[in-house]
A and B are shown apart, each in its own frame.
Chain A
Amino acid sequence: MKNIFKTIILVFGILLFNSCEDELDQLPNDSVSPDTFYNNIGEFESAMRGVYSGFLSGNYYGGQFLALPDILTDNVIIAQEGRLSNRLFFEWRHAPNLAYSFMYAPYVVTNRANLILSNIDNLPAGPERSNIEAEARAARALALFDLVRVFSEIPTQSAGASQTLGMPIITSTDPTIQVLRPTVETSYDFIISELEAVKATINADNGSGRFNKNAVNGLLSRAYLYNGDYLNAITAANDVTTSVATSANFPAVWTDGSEDGVIFKINQDRILDGVSIGTSWSQSNAGAIVPEYVLSFELANLYASTDVRKSSGAYTQIQADASGNLYNSITKMFGESGQNNGVVDAKVIRAAEVQLNKAEAHAMLGQFTEALTALDVVRMNRYSGFISPSETGAALLDAIKLERRLELFAEGHRLFDLKRWNEGVVRSATDGDFFDGTGTPVPSTFTTLPAGSHLFQFPIPQTEINAFPEFQQNPGY
């Protein structure tokens, strides 16, 4: 009898223990495994918003990517009363890891898009699936476009640029993937073919907060222009139906009171998201700003008094710091109406750029009449009492470049435009940081970046080489 009890105790114990093995599979309660997600259109849309959220990162369109391409150029000057942030960029001192976020952020977006694409078969075929798939592919193409703009030469920059090092095309979700750099040509081919592939399937009515048909065509016009394929740039631009923002609506575009002319932007909620895109330029409190970068005196003077970008205060205003110094401050991303926290939607592509892409493409083909028409579509909406100077030839091309500089200032274009035109950066050695050109000028060491300098291509970050020693560094580093 006693032995029976003892046996029961033992058997009871053994049974209990056997059931414990499964307990070692524990999963988090505040997240899910990517393997179990991506089941229905709602989840795919959430995941796609995750992609846009990646674009809104402070390392990407949420800040750095819009600011740094201007900080490196003649558009701005560092304000001595500021925190001297991003100074290494301003002075072209490309420390080994300086460009880390330029590489990291676009590939994070790529990974998020690839997760959507690798699970896309979970959705039934149909317009919803096509639209999501097109969005994800467009996002991945844009991320690669940004990577090659930063780290690689641009095809139009020099005769052999297409055969130099591009950036890897990543279509796998493997986090440990290591791929060597293909040529610039291969990278651009992928960007263009992806955008071409999705322009038919993406919805036209996704709204400006998502990739849409106009956004894809707009980006195509940009990509073709960079690639020197001017005929296709024109075609793509012609496929964009969004009109350039009117003068009247234009100021409100920058406080998110209007979407006029905005083809694609990353929307954010001022309180819930609160990404301070504008703090690369200045922070402000009651009455005074802490300027980081302000308009170079040269650029400030290029804005005519009839220019709505200046007269409305949308792009620049004369503002004071706490010590009373006055600056041509950058107000393009100052905040929503009544706010000064720098939190606004991140504009990625606007109709004005598309017109300027088209104008430039025509001009490069010698089609000056069409070029002037496209240019004037922008100019008539920016200058009060505008009368076309009717330029042609080289003067017209200069006018297009000037208008591009004025219109796209502080939107992350200037460095890449100079680069693809194979022009250098020339900063004034005498103009200071204050509104009237007084103040501290740029040290003479940092006034000239010659055309074709290797510094136009950022160094592959040292941490990347450490993790992937075979990854090819750019020449000159």
Chain B
Amino acid sequence: MKTKFSGILTLFLAFVVQITFAQDKTVSGVVSDENGIPLTSATVLVVGTSNGTSTDFDGNYSIKTKVGDKLQFSYVGYGNKEVTVGGANTINMTLAPDNALDEVVITGFGSKKRDQLTSAVTTLSADDITKLSPSTSIDNMLQGVAPGVQVVAGNGKPGQTAFVRIRGVGSINASSAPLYVIDGIIAPDLNSVNPGDIETMSILKDAATASLYGSRAANGVVIIKTKTGNKNRDARVSISSRVGYGQRIADNFEMMNAAQKIQYERELSALGIGNATALPGAQVSTQEEYDFLIARDTDWEDELLRNSYIQNNSISIDGGTEKSSYFVSFAHDRNTGIIQSINGFERLSGRLNLNVQAKDWLQVSTNVSITGTSSDEPRDRNNVQNPFRAMYDYNPYETKFLLDDDNNQVLDGAGNPIFNPTRAGFPISEALINNPESDNTLFIIGGISAIANLSDKWTNTFKVGATNTAYRREYFLKPGSVLDGFVGDADNPGSKTDSGSNELDLTVTNLLNYSTTIGDKHNVSLTGLFEFNKRTFRNYSLSSDGFSNDFQSVQAVATIPTAASTNLFTRSLLGYGGFLDYDYDSKYLATASIRRDGSSTFGINNRYGVFWSGSLAWNLSKENFLADSDIVDELKLRASAGTSGNSNGLASYASVATLDFGSLNGASTAIPTDNGNSDLGFEKNYIWGVGVEFAGFDRRIRGVIDYYERTTSDLLLNAPLSSLGGEPDGSIFSNIGEMTNKGLELELSADIIRAEDFGDFTLTVGGNIAFLDNEVTKLVSSSTDPNGADILLTTNGDNNIVRVGEEIYTYYLVRYAGVNPANGEPLFYDIDGNITNQYSADDAVVLDGKSPIAKFDGGANLNMTYKGFDFTADLYYKVGNYIQNYLEGNMLSNGTGVDSNQRVDAFNYWKNPGDTNVLPSPLFGNEAGNTSDRLLQKGDYVRLRNLTIGYTLPSKFTETLNISSLRLFLQGQNLWTYAPHFNGDPEVGIGSGETDTSVNFGNYNLYSYPQTQSLQMGVELKF
């Protein structure tokens, strides 16, 4: 069979070769860099055809072409050059390092050279991405990379994705997260993408590009293109592997040890604090008893946590034949996490990207990826089931296992030690083993497209993309486990819940493009778009009680089923669009777009939205007066404006009237649950911006400045209705609110030292900063608040307000006024600003300017190379956000939590009249514990996100090994943090994972999975 196949192939090739021989000449030569060093795998392409080749190890190439053809030479990180083939059979080419002007940027539904862009787009290449702090999801890697893109890690759980906000918060009740588009397909979850597969990534921040995505683009768009192979090139194999370990980032405070805690309990007991008197420390009356407790000193972090093991292995193969190219990759990621006894996150992914030139006018391609993830889930809620709360709460004189009066382990009937329930009444170590929860997700994402060149001016692209996300969760309370004893059915011990979902997201896209050049200088491109998207989401949940053993958890073995439910949600989106690109000699650029989208989520009267954009840019550096400038290499002014919409995050059927079924006294009921709103429509986003891009001094200095104003209107809010109409939820969900985000973004980088300066040494530094100012401008009006009534967010630990004229989610709290030096009582300000010792929740005020949103943030980076060595450092900083430090509230509880361990500085409480700079006296612990801004702390911090040292073996070694490159590196993540105002880790995303909050993230910490730091070593090998 194989022989037969090869035979056919040979015949076929011979046939092809014969035809081509007839008309071509062969050109060969060497491609090298400016220093004369040969460039391996540089691409040589006959312009306007798919005919191309790449250079071999010594930079040699050979290509069949003909006189008059243009040859294009390109190499990653170097500028392209073109040469017209003349009589010579040898063309040697020297390429100069990266000329950003020629960088190809993926935009809306196509790509452009950077100098042709008219809008604010931040791009990252595969090279850039490999230099970032590694993570399993790309969003975490973006922190500090792109100005105007605020990234807050969800938490430190392996596999956790991040909160990303492009140019501010854009909604209150719908989603504020950007749209992620991978190879033209909306990504279901960023864990579905192996960051190593990414060739280029564009963050579309303004209207001119994002509006092309219409009703889903209001919060910005992140476009990811995965790698492809090159035609006419032998397979290239890249292997990358890294291993390392991680640990919790140490706190910038100290917890009490056994001696300190005993001392604290004794002090408080002496003060007469009721809940201290019965504690072991307070009961100690002899040295012997004291020594006995001290001997039990336990570091609970050591008992409950461990170092995580991190591992990433990936291999990719790319290459191509004359008519096809391919990219194949496999990757395996593992991060055990830092919790004892449970496994963390694991991911296995594979990808195939294939392009085939089926006919000279037809190209077909497919991108397919399969990604499976599994994760052991710890309880992320604020109770005794949370190991991170236990780690801080458990007293240091308590031990993991029960000890007898001689401090020897107590054994159960089977001879095993018995887990100590501790004063919390629940042994978390046991729960981690006996109450396992696991999440598994399988993502299958595929796109199939056909590009037909109908003529040299008309191109039609048809694409079908689909993602299937199969999610499964299992939660098993093993029979006999402590928790089962609390919540289980004594007659049917053990319980199991299997739940999950399956989501199919199908998109059909057709693009018809007409491109032409008029009079040599007017370049016009017109594109028509049709897009249809349908999402079908099914879920199920099944529970049973009664398991006869602790190792079989399928419900087939259970005694009685206790709950079962399934549901199905469908939504569709239909879009039509027209896009225009125009430039005059690349000097004057303009774009325009219009798009009309319809969504099934919205009311029958208002389900379509029309979104438009327009932009202009002027490449000053192409004008004669600057063309010869020695200082200015590039200068571009640009301006854009446009609209987009938002429907993400809304209930599928938010607009329709519903009648639900239930039961009363065992018989069916039919109950109207919502009257719907047939006028419900898209939230709308209008953004305008201006920008300058420049490069000078031989491109040693490069920068971008952007200013924008973004107004989101028709925000969906619940407008209260009079009860007279009997609306079941008392309100009508309507397009009402409005808010603005304004910002300034600066980005600057400089090549301080280039190789040509001192030889072999380079130093590049860069940084960015983005200022953001949010203001709510309109809410639901009422007779007392014609501009809009406040929305108070005061459930689940939120103490925030949405008020017209204020930043969204501004804190709304009673102000703490410190400790009365006379008696140690906590003081507060009343609503008028007078100091009082009478706390009243009615004294809460809007804390103007204090919100969970940073005033500015950004990054700074440094790259150095010397011969084969490379060194990279990335800093992230964030200033101006405030966080409620609930952990501190529990650790400095002023005696109310004396039965749990406390911070060492809890000793610093008021003791004598005149004491200042102290905590309130524990005698007033309950008063001090009233909700106030006492725990509100500024979240400013600087963090060393990434520190990498690498060494690339010189070519004389790799040559002998017959490989093309080999790099070894050592990488540290989050090695250093500076947080001057915040006690604890300042990177607060999810406060408490199983608690929904209206603010979403960043407004309090409450024992979610902590951030980690890691050290990894790795190798990158190419052959």
Q: What is the minimal beta-carbon distance from A302 to any residue of chain B, in angstroms?
A: 35
Q: Given A28-B658, A31-B659, are A272 and B723 also a contact pair (CB < 8 Å)?
A: no
| Contact between A31 and B567, CB atoms less than 8 A apart | no
| Contact between B724 and A178, CB atoms less than 8 A apart | yes
Q: From the candidates B532, B665, B720, B782, name the one contacting A268 in the complex (CB within 8 A).
A: B665
Complex contacts, B671 vs chain A, CB 8 Å: 47, 50, 53-54, 112
Complex contacts, B730 vs chain A, CB 8 Å: 104
| Contact between B653 and A9, CB atoms less than 8 A apart | no
Q: What is the minimal beta-carbon distance from A455 to any residue of chain B, in angstroms?
A: 21
Which residue of B is nearest A111, CB measured? Answer: B726
Q: Is B88 an interface residue (CB 8 A)?
A: no
Those of B546-567 within 8 Å (CB) of chain A: 567
Q: Is A103 an interface residue (CB 8 A)?
A: yes
Those of A48-95 within 8 Å (CB) of chain B: 49-50, 52-54, 56
| Contact between B725 and A174, CB atoms less than 8 A apart | yes
| Contact between B783 and A28, CB atoms less than 8 A apart | no
Q: From the candidates A46, A175, A471, name the one contacting B670 in the complex (CB within 8 A).
A: A46
Chain B 730-752 interface 0/1 with A at a Cβ cutoff of 8 Å (1 = within):
10100000000000000000000
Size category of the A interface is: 35 or more
Q: What is the minimal beta-carbon distance from B76 to any residue of chain A, in angstroms?
A: 35
Which residue of B is nearest A470, CB measured? Answer: B783
| Contact between A25 and B659, CB atoms less than 8 A apart | no
Complex contacts, B969 vs chain A, CB 8 Å: none
Q: Is A125 an interface residue (CB 8 A)?
A: no
Those of A98-117 within 8 Å (CB) of chain B: 100, 103-104, 107-112, 114-115
Q: What is the minimal beta-carbon distance from B451 to any residue of chain A, in angstroms?
A: 11
Q: Given A24-B607, A471-B722, are A267 and B665 also a contact pair (CB < 8 Å)?
A: yes
Most B-side CB within 10 Å, residue of A49, A103, A109, A170: A49
Q: What is the minimal beta-carbon distance from A31 to any residue of chain B, in angstroms?
A: 4
Complex contacts, A178 vs chain B, CB 8 Å: 722, 724
Q: Is A402 an interface residue (CB 8 A)?
A: no
> Once bound together, how far apart are the Cα atoms of A269 and B516, in whole Å?
75
Which residue of B is nearest A110, CB measured? Answer: B726
Q: Is A468 an interface residue (CB 8 A)?
A: yes
Which residue of A is nearest B728, CB measured? Answer: A108
| Contact between A20 and B662, CB atoms less than 8 A apart | no
Q: What's the A-B contact tally at a CB cutoff of 8 Å?
A: 181
| Contact between A23 and B572, CB atoms less than 8 A apart | yes
Those of B670-728 within 8 Å (CB) of chain A: 670-673, 675, 719-728
Q: What is the minimal beta-carbon distance from A44 to any residue of chain B, in angstroms?
A: 9
Complex contacts, B724 vs chain A, CB 8 Å: 107, 168, 170, 177-179, 468
| Contact between B661 and A20, CB atoms less than 8 A apart | no
Q: Is A444 an interface residue (CB 8 A)?
A: no
Q: Is B12 an interface residue (CB 8 A)?
A: no
Q: What is the minimal beta-carbon distance from A117 to any residue of chain B, in angstroms?
A: 13
Q: From the candidates A30, A34, A52, A104, name the one contacting B664 in the complex (CB within 8 A).
A: A52
| Contact between B720 and A466, CB atoms less than 8 A apart | yes
Q: What is the minimal beta-carbon distance from A33 to any residue of chain B, in angstroms?
A: 6
| Contact between B530 and A13, CB atoms less than 8 A apart | yes
Q: What is the minimal beta-carbon distance from A98 to any residue of chain B, in angstroms?
A: 14
| Contact between B572 and A26, CB atoms less than 8 A apart | yes
Most A-side CB within 10 Å, residue of B462, B669, B726: B726
Q: Is A27 an interface residue (CB 8 A)?
A: yes
Complex contacts, B663 vs chain A, CB 8 Å: 269, 272-273
Q: Is A159 an interface residue (CB 8 A)?
A: no
Which residue of A is nearest B782, CB measured? Answer: A466
Chain A 239-281 interface 0/1 with B at a Cβ cutoff of 8 Å (1 = within):
0000000000000000000000000000111001100000000
Complex contacts, A175 vs chain B, CB 8 Å: 675, 721, 725-727, 732
Which residue of A is nearest B783, CB measured? Answer: A469
| Contact between B510 and A272, CB atoms less than 8 A apart | no
| Contact between A30 and B660, CB atoms less than 8 A apart | yes
Which residue of B is nearest A10, CB measured? Answer: B460
Chain B: how many interface residues by the 8 Å CB criterion? 60
Those of A216-257 within 8 Å (CB) of chain B: none
Q: Is A463 an interface residue (CB 8 A)?
A: yes
> Once bound together, how far apart are the Cα atoms of A34 and B361, in whole Å?
54
Q: Is A465 an interface residue (CB 8 A)?
A: yes
Q: Is A387 an interface residue (CB 8 A)?
A: no
| Contact between B726 and A108, CB atoms less than 8 A apart | yes
Complex contacts, A468 vs chain B, CB 8 Å: 722, 724
| Contact between B661 and A31, CB atoms less than 8 A apart | yes
> Once bound together, how far apart are the Cα atoms of A272 and B666, in whole Å?
7
| Contact between B532 and A31, CB atoms less than 8 A apart | no
Which residue of A is nearest B608, CB measured? Answer: A24
Q: Is B834 an interface residue (CB 8 A)?
A: no
Complex contacts, A50 vs chain B, CB 8 Å: 662, 664, 669-672
Q: Is B109 an interface residue (CB 8 A)?
A: no
Complex contacts, A115 vs chain B, CB 8 Å: 672
| Contact between A26 and B658, CB atoms less than 8 A apart | no
Q: Is B534 an interface residue (CB 8 A)?
A: yes
Which residue of A is nearest B726, CB measured? Answer: A111
| Contact between B664 and A176, CB atoms less than 8 A apart | no
| Contact between B721 and A467, CB atoms less than 8 A apart | yes
Q: From the candidates B510, B653, B664, name the one contacting A17 in the complex (CB within 8 A).
A: B510
Those of B431-480 within 8 Å (CB) of chain A: 450, 452, 454, 460, 462
| Contact between A9 and B600, CB atoms less than 8 A apart | no
Q: What is the minimal beta-carbon distance from A193 to any residue of chain B, in angstroms?
A: 20
Those of A424-477 within 8 Å (CB) of chain B: 461-469, 471
| Contact between B720 and A467, CB atoms less than 8 A apart | yes
Most B-side CB within 10 Å, residue of A100, A112, A114, A465: A112
Q: Is A35 an interface residue (CB 8 A)?
A: yes
| Contact between B600 and A25, CB atoms less than 8 A apart | yes
Complex contacts, B661 vs chain A, CB 8 Å: 31, 46
Q: From the candidates A9, A27, A53, name the one contacting B669 in the complex (CB within 8 A).
A: A53
> Once bound together, how far apart are the Cα atoms of A175 and B671, in whole Å?
15
Q: From the candidates A2, A33, A209, name the one contacting B656 in the complex (CB within 8 A).
A: A33
> Once bound together, how far apart are the Cα atoms of A433 and B600, in whole Å?
59
> Once bound together, how far apart are the Cα atoms of A47 and B664, in whole Å?
11
Complex contacts, A9 vs chain B, CB 8 Å: 450, 452, 460, 462
Q: Is A37 an interface residue (CB 8 A)?
A: yes
> Once bound together, how far apart are the Cα atoms of A16 and B672, in whole Å?
37
Complex contacts, B817 vs chain A, CB 8 Å: none
Q: Is A395 an interface residue (CB 8 A)?
A: no
Q: Is B286 an interface residue (CB 8 A)?
A: no
Q: Is B574 an interface residue (CB 8 A)?
A: yes
Q: Given A17-B530, A52-B664, A269-B666, are A2 and B361 also a contact pair (CB < 8 Å)?
A: yes
| Contact between B726 and A107, CB atoms less than 8 A apart | yes
Q: What is the minimal beta-carbon distance from B676 to any residue of chain A, in angstroms?
A: 8
Q: Is A43 an interface residue (CB 8 A)?
A: yes
Q: Is B282 an interface residue (CB 8 A)?
A: no
Q: From the candidates A16, A34, A56, A463, name the one contacting B508 in the complex (CB within 8 A).
A: A16
> Once bound together, how far apart are the Cα atoms of A209 and B664, in whole Å?
11
Q: Write 15 A-B pairs (CB below 8 A) sorted by A numbering.
A: A6-B454, A10-B512, A20-B572, A26-B600, A29-B570, A31-B660, A33-B658, A46-B670, A50-B664, A100-B723, A107-B726, A111-B725, A176-B722, A269-B666, A464-B723
What 5 pairs across the A-B complex have the smallest Cβ distances? A111-B726, A466-B782, A175-B725, A469-B783, A26-B600
A binding-site residues for B, Cβ under 8 Å: 2, 6, 9-10, 13, 16-17, 20-21, 23-35, 37, 43, 46-47, 49-50, 52-54, 56, 100, 103-104, 107-112, 114-115, 168, 170, 174-179, 209, 267-269, 272-273, 461-469, 471
Other than A32-B659, A50-B672, A272-B663, give 16 A-B pairs with Cβ distance below 8 A: A9-B462, A16-B508, A26-B570, A29-B567, A31-B660, A32-B658, A34-B672, A50-B669, A100-B723, A107-B723, A115-B672, A175-B721, A179-B724, A269-B663, A466-B789, A467-B782
B binding-site residues for A, Cβ under 8 Å: 361, 450, 452, 454, 460, 462, 508, 510, 512, 530, 532, 534, 567-572, 574, 598-600, 607, 652-653, 656-673, 675, 719-728, 730, 732, 782-784, 789
